[in-house]
Amino acid sequence: MVENTSDLDGENFDWDTEDELEIGNIPLSCSSLTVPGGVATIGSGEAGPSCSKTIDHFVGMGFSEKMVAKVIQEHGEENTDTILETLLTYSALEESPEEQVQHNEPDNFSSDCDYEGSFLSDFSDIDSSDNEDLANLSSDEENKIRPLLAMGYSKEEAAIALERCGRDCSLAELTDFICAAQMARAADGDYPLEVKPRLNGDYSNHKRRRLLECSKQRRLEKRILTEDDETIRLPNPMIGFGVPTDSFRRVRRDIPEAAIGPPYFYYENVALAPKGVWTTISRFLYDVEPEFVDSKYFCAAARKRGYVHNLPIENRFPLLPLPARTIHEAIPLTKKWWPSWDSRTKLNCLQTCIGSAKLTERIRKALEEYPDSEPPMSIQKYVMDECRKWNLVWVGRNKVAPLEPDEIEMLLGFPRNHTRGGGISRTDRYKSLGNSFQVDTVAYHLSTLKDLYPNGINMLSLFSGIGGAEVALHRLGIPLKNVVSVEISEVNRNIVRSWWEQTSQKGYLEHLDDVQQLNSDRLEEYMRKFGGFDLVVGGSPCNNLAGSNRHHRDGLEGKESSLFYDYFRILDLVKCIMTRNE
């Protein structure tokens, strides 16, 4: 949860946010590294196709773009270890070592951090206690450190990495952190603060040897990693069974007999869940194949989600008018101040939290050091990492700012002022919006119901949030006859009730605050009253599924995300009651 934006600090990050930053796959372990005398950025995090990100990643290591492109063409972009080893081999065969320039710019934006404490400096769950006694480690911590020691890292390095990355991070995150810190020390340790050295070929070779060691360590780490550390392999591009820009795509889908509707069901959650989660979800929901879709194909912001449903997929249609697909189309006033070196066209996933005033001030001061020229690459990379991480947009010369709630409403497809007023705080608006559906995406999937229910629909809405499914159906022109909405947040219930009244809905809305109170007796009462439910829609909490929640990423066994089983329980009861009453 965030505080008022006028006094936000980066340390107020809400780890209950819905999911991690998405377009650029920004690493949570080491997006930027501040070192004495400058900024070294590990990983570019560029938006756009994954191949571009891979190229930028290796170019950031000092290899030429031409060489990287050639190696990727030879080996593909999947196996980064093979790419790195080939690049090192080609570099060694060159007649003279490639010279690289390392800019050590004055640190105007991170004076309160040393290089060991700078990773994710704006996240609150990173403890700065560097002097923790290693003898006090728990058995779980020792189990994390033991493989690192076997790889040749020191116990001090392992302990610092574990502290910075969190106790529940993967071995890959720990090794990435240590390698990044070692390279940063090698790059900066031999030079005074104000010196901007031109590195010679010997250092280039040293750096490449360091990278080769990291590559070998990563291969060892892959053999040590357990299944639980991995995540599901998702399709690329993530367009599910089709998107409006790919409307001629033909997909054959066989729905298991037990899943054939009505009632139709529609379940949503974060795509980047721990390995096995979507297999379990699919198994419980009658073995229906998940549809993974990124909302960047519907609007100017990414939102990678998985959907399990038994809806028809033929003859879908989008909401009109089509929403803006780029940042400048969606927020045109930013174009005037957008620097040429900021290549973003899409925003990352919209979160429940925003960047702090402290962070945006640090960025402004860093850029003002170069009033008559573009800032050096080190500063550009630092600023771009923060802009992608926090969805910052340009609002003035050298000035970035977080999105306003009204802008997020627009990007998510909600009507203007949907979450405004009625005693709702600014903080609650960000939290409610960050945990909502992207309306245009959901409406595209639900559009096939319009011909099936021309006279209106009875809907059971579980974990309703701020009414994304209700808004989608309304915008599709499908009348809402009867809606039972189950939502624990009073703030969200008030938002939905207010929207219902302002849009002059003719149907009946009933609110409940707890899915666990919805038993068979209560369901039968509603279904006798309404004649059954045509659609059961919902997205259970993702708190224990999202990659950003490293400390409680317990999958479907987590305290909040285990509520998925209530979605299945209620859906199965509805199906059984309807079958019995036929």
Active site residues: 542
Strand 304-309 relative to strand 264-270: parallel, antiparallel, unpaired?
A: antiparallel
Name, in order, each residue with C-beta under 8 angstroms of 357's C-beta and a sequence gap of 6 or more: 5, 6, 7, 8, 9
Retrieve residue 272's tokens.
């980047």
Produce one character per residue of 63-86: b if its CB has 16 or more CB atoms within 10 Å, e if not. beeebbeebbeeeebeeeeebbbb
Cα separations in angstroms, 382 against 12, 120, 345: 20, 12, 18
Q: Which of 269, 353, 273 is nearest to 541 (CA)?
A: 269
Retrieve residue 237's tokens.
């591009």
Rounded Cα–Cα distance for residues 238 and 296 (Å) = 9
Give the three-state DSSP class for 538. Answer: strand
Which amino acid would we find at residue 19? D
Produce one character per residue of 303-324: b if its CB has 16 or more CB atoms within 10 Å, e if not. bbbbbbbbbbbeebebbeeebe
The answer to whether residues 180 and 42 touch, using CB atoms and an 8 Å cutoff, is yes
Which amino acid would we find at residue 426? R
Q: By CB neighbour count within 10 A (0-12 exposed, 13-18 middle, 19+ buried), where does 30 fall?
A: buried
Q: Is 491 left (phi over 0), alpha (psi -120 to 50) or beta?
A: alpha
Beta bridge partners of 35: 38
Sequence length of the chain is 582
For 81-144, where are the E strands, in sequence order? Answer: none
CB atoms within 10 A of CB 177: 25
Q: Does residue 332 have a cis bond before it (omega within 30 degrees)? A: no
The answer to whether residues 528 and 578 touch, using CB atoms and an 8 Å cutoff, is no
Retrieve residue 248's tokens.
């001629």
Spell out the long-range contacts of 82-88 with Cβ–Cβ below 8 A and sequence spacing 24 or more.
83/54, 83/58, 84/58, 84/211, 84/212, 84/215, 85/212, 85/215, 87/58, 87/63, 88/208, 88/211, 88/212
Rounded Cα–Cα distance for residues 555 and 274 (Å) = 6
CB atoms within 10 A of CB 374: 12
Q: At what angle do helices 155-165 and 171-188 cross, to 10 degrees?
A: 110
Beta bridge partners of 393: 401
Strand 393-396 relative to strand 457-462: parallel, antiparallel, unpaired?
A: unpaired
